[in-house]
Amino acid sequence: MYDVIIIGGGPSGITAGIYAIRSGLKTLVLEKTNLGGQVINTYEIKNFPTYTNISGTDFCSLLYSQAEYNNLEIKYEEVVEANLSENIKKIKTNTNAYESKTVIICSGAKPKNLNLENEQELVGKGISYCALCDGNFFKNKTVAVIGGGDTALEDSIYLSGLCKKVYIINRSNKLRGQQILQDSLKVHIQENKNIELMYNAEVNKIYGDNFLTSIDVLDKTTNTIKNLEVDGMFLAIGRTPDTDKFNKQIKLNDYGYIVVNNKMQTSLKGVFAGGDCIEKEIRQILTACSDGALCATFANHYIKGE
């Protein structure tokens, strides 16, 4: 029996775990893939206090080191079922079953898709969600980055140093990323001359049998379609909360994000949530860490009846 089980090993989950263990609570973190969550795919982190510039990989390594220093128990298992309505919470993973007095959900978010025919079949065969992970496979090749936010701009800047040509396909008439990233992109466009921005554009068809070969791009201004021969396509069109397995038990908003109160508690007693899976305005590493600290603090109060 655990005092706290934390679902998710990103910044929010690990921070919650550190705060819980330091409060004397028997704590377990369950992470289905890599410690650090989405952060491990980040090329550069420049907006986290104490670091002028740190890679996502290095940040996650430090996160793990701190978890290890605090003797935080972490198991790499995927949660397949959660019974959260009773006083004793029951969690079943792909390999084990656990019980806990409280649960903290830090399950994060997963990448959105274009929902095009043949898209899923070509994931890993030219279609990717992670430029940092897969960019080197496309060295000296032509790629497209789909999106206009922070991730799309970061991916494009990174890929421009590897690839022969980078198309940025943005569905609106302006970019949504931070101004500092837009300014950096302009510099890279001028220096590398291998980035082409396409505004008011959408991918409406993809081609390839065993590997991606080309995409059709709709120009919404002229209502014309242009076929681009590309070796790779990186999707950076946002994320959707990874909350499917909880949607019949706790309250979610219309977009699938978990609704919490000012004590990070969900609609069920003893169940808390933080990070990118909850309803909030800003989703950053710093705010995720803050959420985790609050979750653990209020879980401790709940257990002690405070």
* pLDDT tens figures, 62-101: 999 999 999 999 999 999 999 999 999 999 999 999 999 9
Sign for the CA dihedral angle at 16, 19, 25, 29 comes to positive
Sign for the CA dihedral angle at 277, 257, 3, 80 comes to negative
pLDDT of residue 153: 96
pLDDT of residue 244: 92
Q: What is the mean pLDDT of the chain?
A: 94
Mean pLDDT of the 6-15 span: 97
Give the Cβ contact number of residue 119 at 10 Å: 16
pLDDT of residue 37: 82
What is the pLDDT confidence band of residue 250, given thresholds at 50, 70 and 90? very high
What gap in Å lies between CA 125 and CA 177, rounded to an integer? 28
- pLDDT reading at 3 higher than 90: yes
Q: What are residue 195's DSSP bridge partners?
A: 166
What is the pLDDT confidence band of residue 200, given thresholds at 50, 70 and 90? very high
Per this entry, what is the length of the chain? 306
What gap in Å lies between CA 181 and CA 202, rounded to an integer? 22
Report strand pairing: 271-273 vs 165-169: unpaired
Query: What does the block give as tokens for 101?
Result: 């007095």
What gap in Å lies between CA 93 and CA 113, rounded to an integer? 26
Give the Cβ contact number of residue 65 at 10 Å: 10
- pLDDT reading at 36 higher than 90: no
- pLDDT reading at 247 higher than 90: no
What is the pLDDT confidence band of residue 187, given thresholds at 50, 70 and 90? very high
- pLDDT reading at 276 higher than 90: yes
Ordered domains of the chain (ranges, CATH): 2-111+239-303 (3.50.50.60), 120-235 (3.50.50.60)
**pLDDT tens-place string over residues 37-47:** 888 777 788 88
What is the pLDDT confidence band of residue 292, given thresholds at 50, 70 and 90? very high
* pTM, rounded to two decimals: 0.85
Mean pLDDT of the 31-37 span: 87
Of 138-147, 261-270, 281-290, 292-301, the range with the lowest mean pLDDT is: 281-290
pLDDT of residue 19: 98
Mean pLDDT of the 269-288 span: 94
Higher pLDDT, 268 or 132: 268
Mean pLDDT of the 183-211 span: 94
